Amino acid sequence: MNGFSPKLTRRHFGAILAGGAFTLAAPAVLRADTGPRLVVIGGGFGGASAARFARINYPDVNVTLIEPYDHFVTCPYGNLILGGKRELPQITHSYDGLRARGVNVVQNWAKDIDPVAKQVTLADDTQIAYDKLIVSPGIALRWDAIEGYDEAAAEIFPHAWMGGDGSQITTLRRQLEALPEGGVVGLATPPNPFRCPPGPYERISMIAHHLKHHNPTAKILAFDAKDGFSKHGLFQDGWAELYGDMIEWIPASQDGTIVEVDPQEKVFISEFGERHKVDVGNVIPPQYAAAIARDTGLTNDGGWVPVDPLTFAAETAPDIHVIGDANIGSPMPKSGYVANSTAKQAVASAIADLRGESPPADPVYFNTCYSHVGEDYGISVAAIFRVNEEDGIFETPDSGGVSPRGPLSELAHNRRREAEYADAWYDSITKDMFS
């Protein structure tokens, strides 16, 4: 991480709807020369997709993307680094492609949003004016949720749940490489909702894949704050087939919820007070929307942003469209694919509104989450989502499903093809973000 810790001012967006007024600072304001100004906060799956889509489809619109890092390290395919199947440069993407398309990429943190003046304030107090704002800052970790787990503890027990500068996933990989022979890797997995429902289980798989080849007597203790998870049966089939008894998954009902950690002693402590010694610990804590969304009053009490399912306009601020993991998009999962798919509807709705038009009707949102379980072994869950007045977002019946279950001897071809589809998905979505 770059050490910047934004100190943000809480603003009450509800006041706009109630006709409240705000006092403005009087700083330099960057203004685009002509055309509507679309400003995007966050250059990840939602934000980069939105900026690129806007430049291609609305050439008269000035697009500014605010992102603190000079490169984007994807969480998707990060687990493959642990499995030794990818290296960091292969999941690291430059913003040059977006610059070449005419996106004004501003490398900085957004620290405040003024929805009345329609301005974003950056960490250096520069202000950027917008006509429409897209906010896709992703998640933050709830440092208060597991006792003893704070930013310092994350250097010893990495979470590796946000791309950042890539240091978290690199630390975890180094720790796995240094694991003593026959050592114990502990994982603590959060309750719902959290970023990427199948992600922890792909991670368990990729750690097992590494250990199978380099430390076959090692053990994985996978503590879970839930009693079930995405693609549960498929993962457990794969673990049994590929890794024998290396992985022990401990659900909440069997005291799987980790409530405290002691990184110095390398101990996980469960809800019922059991102390588990681990050699390497990966703690994925509970989450909520990133600070810029919470500290500017866009979120509800649960820490996520309620949005209009048709336009992704925040319930409390109609000119601010919140996409990606930060919003409440259920039943859609918090996935990169959903962030990418919904970014397009959010941009189209924002521009339509500026033109005095209605948002695109009857949108279709897509999701496929692939997971790598082993070498040439992929599984997936897919669904198509639509919107109606009664239900908001709903899953279209029979639109997707999960990979078939059965013995590997019968499904080896299918599993190999799904691993190939996953690679193709990664290539195409990152092109749709950054090229």
In angstroms and rounded to an integer, the radius of gyration of the C-alpha atoms of the chain is: 22
Nearest CB to ligand FAD, comparing residues 170 and 267: 170
Query: What crossing angle do the helices spanning 45-57 and 408-434 adopt, rounded to 10°?
Result: 60
Which of 85, 173, 195, 294 binds ligand FAD (CB under 6 A)? It is: 195
Q: How far is the CB of 120 from ligand FAD (least distance, A)?
A: 9
φ, ψ (nearest 5 deg) of residue 390: -70, -50
Q: Does 44 bind ligand FAD (CB under 6 A)?
A: yes
From 326, 259, 317, 331, select the one nearest 288 (Cα to Cα).
Answer: 326
Q: What is the 3-state secondary structure (H, E, C) of 353-422?
A: HHCCCCCCCCCCEEEEEEEEEECCEEEEEEEEEEEECCCEEEECCCCCEECCCCCHHHHHHHHHHHHHHH
Site for ligand FAD in 60-79 (CB under 6 A): 66-69, 72, 75-76, 78-79
Q: How far is the CB of 291 from ligand FAD (least distance, A)?
A: 6
Instruction: Supply angle C-alpha 362, 368, 369, rounded to 5.
Output: 140
Which residue lies nearest ligand FAD, judged by its C-beta? 44
Q: Does 325 bind ligand FAD (CB under 6 A)?
A: yes
Q: Does 430 bind ligand FAD (CB under 6 A)?
A: no
Which of 32, 196, 220, 258 binds ligand FAD (CB under 6 A)? It is: 196
Q: Strands across the sheet with 247-250, in order?
A: 247-250, 219-224, 184-189, 280-283
- DSSP 8-state secondary structure symbol assigned to residue 324: G
Q: How many residues bind ligand FAD (CB under 6 A)?
A: 38
Q: Does 370 bind ligand FAD (CB under 6 A)?
A: yes
Q: Strands across the sheet with 267-270, in order?
A: 258-262, 267-270, 275-277
Nearest CB to ligand FAD, comparing residues 112 and 237: 112
Bridge partners of 29, per DSSP, are: 127
Binding mask 266-295 for ligand FAD (x = CB under 6 A): ------------------------x-x---
Q: Does 166 bind ligand FAD (CB under 6 A)?
A: no
Q: How far is the CB of 265 from ligand FAD (least distance, A)?
A: 27
d(C-alpha 218, C-alpha 232), whole Å: 23
Which residue stretch of 43-51, 232-240, 381-389, 395-403 sits at the interface with ligand FAD (rule: CB under 6 A)?
43-51
Q: Which helix (H) or strand (E) holds 261?
A: strand 258-262
Site for ligand FAD in 100-159 (CB under 6 A): 109-110, 136-138
Question: Left if phi > 0, otherwise alpha if psi is -120 to 50, otherwise beta: which for 391?
Answer: alpha
Q: How far is the CB of 17 from ligand FAD (least distance, A)?
A: 23
C-alpha to C-alpha distances, 143 to 149, 284, 286, 310, nearest whole angstrom: 6, 10, 8, 33
Nearest CB to ligand FAD, comparing residues 48 and 269: 48
Q: Which residues bind ligand FAD (CB under 6 A)?
A: 41-47, 66-69, 72, 75-76, 78-79, 109-110, 136-138, 161, 195-196, 199, 203, 290, 292, 324-326, 334-337, 339, 369-370
